[in-house]
């Protein structure tokens, strides 16, 4: 089920990032068992009062020194209003209400979107009376908070959870057998063209399916008896000339799209390869635990000799060899070349993402697993697969503290070699044997 999106907005320097970091560090945040997850993330899956949502920080996209700061803040507020299920609007108690706060508040009131108003930097009781002024924003009760001390964050989260769409609403139109495939990537790489090419070659269903109101641009069709929903993130709903707004928009939009899909097709322009943008996208897909196929599009523009495809394939993953687990299909939306294959690959990846390995096979695997050099006296006793989509494994070991990243990666690579999880992230966790019974 897709998780609702909560976006934090507000002027630069009001304390958004500090609050975000404070909240996600809470012990209730879902812990990350995956090796090597240290990069900065601006979106975090978070659980509070038994509800899970994605908390998205927008801090950092607009610098207070930017010449276009005001324009950027208002654009990003609009985008957040479009994409988020609940907006967390932060103002700074030490500045009072500024003109820009008023502008954002006006947008929010007009939108009718659920809003939680947090007044930041209330570290001491000295400021408590000053929060009443913020009633004038017309957004309901201002909640005093401090990212620095953590004051007020529990009440703030309670309020957010109250305003989230219900689980039934989130499930609307999702509890069918269709496989959801999302096309993601930079503008102009050919996402819409690929959707059009697929739609042209297949029968598109025009049934009135509930839930499509959330995203009117979904395309529903049947491929080999399998119902497929294509989710196209193309076509910025609002034109924007500001680079940081575009980055912010794609990030928010992508997070939301990824929540809704089973498999993502990351479309890249073959001429440009994997830029830092696509590398980030791959990490986003992995974080969301969804399947991934790369479409190296505009293949028709490439001068080919027989070696070309193989060469491209190696070059694409040159500096990120770990990501070579994701298949690449060379497509041309223009001629339709391999567009069918792209879809088939996505369905194949979906099946692998749902694969369940028999416990006996898994334990045969553990028994024959070589002991890699440098892994000390880590011993694996047995393993279980406790989930699918993505496949998730727990390994019982003598001492989980001795399990280092490279050991975990080694086990992951061996698992992949043995059971073929092409195109899907897998989750590994290491636990001390018997601890659950202690
Ligand atoms: P953002 O631009 O809205 O994300 O703001 P930041 O979180 O980066 O914070 C901007 C500045 O305000 C930094 O210097 C923070 O140290 C400071 N700050 C943030 N939260 C608090 C707080 O709760 N209390 C105090 N006293 N300072 C804070
Ligand atoms: P989107 O923004 O990612 O949805 O990209 P579009 O589908 O709108 O395509 C952007 C431009 O690239 C359009 O002019 C397309 O005609 C062109 N285009 C898309 N796919 C291909 C392709 O496979 N080959 C060539 N030569 N052009 C393509």
pLDDT for 251 equals 72
Place of tokens 């999302």: 182
| The Cα angle at residue 57 between residues 55 and 59, in degrees rounded to 5 | 170
Alpha carbon distance 293, 295 (integer Å) = 6
pLDDT for 367 equals 94
Place of tokens 């879902």: 30
Q: What is the pLDDT of residues 1-42, one digit of tens each?
A: 788 999 999 998 899 988 988 887 743 333 344 443 334 457
Stretch (H or E) spanning 372: none
Cα 334 to middle of ligand 2, angstroms: 7
Cα 16 to middle of ligand 1, angstroms: 7
Q: Which of 188, 200, 249, 331 to mutate to test the pocket of ligand 2 (most atoms within 8 A of CB)?
A: 188
Cα 212 to middle of ligand 2, angstroms: 25
pLDDT for 206 equals 64
Is residue 62 over pLDDT 90? no
For residues 316 and 138, the model is more confident at 138
Any ligand 1 atom below 6 A from CB of 119: no
Neighbours of 437 (CB within 10 A): 5
In this structure, the residue with its CA closest to atom 17 of ligand 2 is: 190
- In the structure, what pLDDT confidence band is assigned to residue 242 with cuts at 50, 70 and 90? low
Stretch (H or E) spanning 337: none
Residue 333 — φ and ψ, nearest 5°? -70, -25
- In the structure, what pLDDT confidence band is assigned to residue 414 with cuts at 50, 70 and 90? very high
Alpha-carbon distances of 297 from 93, 117, 271, 335, 344, rounded to whole Å: 50, 44, 9, 11, 16
The pTM is what? 0.81
For residues 371 and 211, the model is more confident at 371
Closest ligand, as measured to the CA of 186: 2
Q: Tokens for 168?
A: 């039934």
Cα 191 to middle of ligand 1, angstroms: 39
Could you tell me where the DSSP H helices lie in 13-136?
Answer: 16-24, 69-83, 99-111
Read off the pLDDT of each residue in 98-110 and give the average, rounded to a whole number. 94
Alpha-carbon distances of 63 from 14, 67, 69, rounded to whole Å: 12, 9, 7
Residue 431 and residue 399 in contact, taking contact as beta carbons nearer than 8 Å:
no
pLDDT for 153 equals 93
Residue 44 pairs in a beta bridge with: 55
Q: What is the pLDDT of residues 303-324, one digit of tens each?
A: 877 678 888 888 888 888 889 9
pLDDT for 36 equals 36
53-67, 235-249, 285-299, range with greatest mean pLDDT? 285-299
pLDDT for 236 equals 47
pLDDT for 210 equals 47
215-224, 238-247, 254-263, range with greatest mean pLDDT? 254-263
pLDDT for 356 equals 97
Q: What is the pLDDT of residues 175-227, one digit of tens each?
A: 678 999 999 988 889 998 999 999 887 777 765 554 434 444 688 888 888 89
Where do the DSSP E strands lie in 40-94? Answer: 43-48, 51-57, 86-92
- In the structure, what pLDDT confidence band is assigned to residue 360 with cuts at 50, 70 and 90? very high
Q: What mean pLDDT is reported for the chain? A: 85
């Amino acid at each position: 089920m897709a998780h609702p999106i909560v976006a934090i907005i507000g002027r630069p320097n009001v304390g958004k990032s500090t609050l975000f970091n404070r909240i996600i560090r809470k012990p209730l945040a879902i812990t990350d068992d995956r090796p090597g997850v240290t990069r900065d993330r601006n979106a975090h899956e978070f659980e509070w009062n038994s509800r899970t949502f994605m908390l998205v920080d927008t801090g950092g996209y607009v610098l207070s020194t930017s010449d276009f700061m005001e324009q950027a803040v208002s654009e990003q507020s609009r985008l957040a209003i479009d994409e988020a299920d609940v907006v967390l609007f932060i103002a700074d108690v030490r500045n009072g209400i500024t003109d820009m706060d008023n502008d954002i508040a006006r947008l929010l009131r007009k939108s009718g979107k659920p809003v939680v108003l947090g007044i930041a930097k209330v570290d001491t009781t000295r400021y408590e009376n000053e929060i009443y002024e913020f009633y004038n924003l017309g957004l309901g009760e201002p909640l005093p908070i401090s990212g620095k001390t953590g004051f007020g964050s529990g009440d703030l989260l309670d309020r957010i959870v109250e305003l989230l769409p219900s689980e039934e609403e989130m499930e609307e139109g999702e509890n069918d057998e269709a496989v959801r495939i999302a096309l993601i990537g930079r503008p102009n790489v050919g996402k819409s063209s690929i959707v059009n090419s697929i739609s042209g070659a297949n029968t598109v269903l025009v049934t009135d399916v509930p839930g499509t109101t959330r995203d009117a641009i979904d395309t529903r069709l049947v491929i080999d008896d399998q119902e497929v929903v294509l989710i196209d993130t193309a076509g910025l709903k609002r034109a924007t000339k500001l680079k940081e707004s575009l980055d912010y928009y794609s990030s928010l939009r992508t997070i939301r799209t990824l929540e809704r899909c089973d498999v993502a097709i990351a479309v890249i322009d073959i001429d440009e390869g994997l830029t830092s943008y696509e590398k980030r996208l791959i990490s986003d897909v992995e974080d969301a635990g969804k399947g991934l196929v790369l479409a190296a599009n505009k293949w028709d523009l490439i001068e080919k000799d027989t070696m070309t495809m193989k060469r491209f394939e190696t070059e694409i993953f040159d500096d990120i060899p770990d990501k070579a687990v994701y298949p690449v299909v060379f497509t041309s939306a223009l001629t339709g070349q391999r567009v069918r294959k792209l879809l088939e690959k996505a369905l194949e990846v979906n099946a692998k993402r749902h694969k369940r390995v028999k416990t006996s096979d898994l334990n045969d695997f553990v028994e024959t697993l070589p002991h890699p050099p440098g892994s000390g006296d880590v011993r694996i006793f047995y393993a279980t697969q406790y989930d699918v989509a993505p496949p998730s494994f727990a390994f019982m070991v003598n001492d989980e503290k001795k399990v280092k990243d490279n050991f975990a990666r080694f086990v992951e690579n061996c698992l992949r070699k043995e059971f073929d999880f092409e195109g899907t992230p897998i989750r590994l966790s290491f636990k001390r044997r018997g601890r659950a019974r202690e």
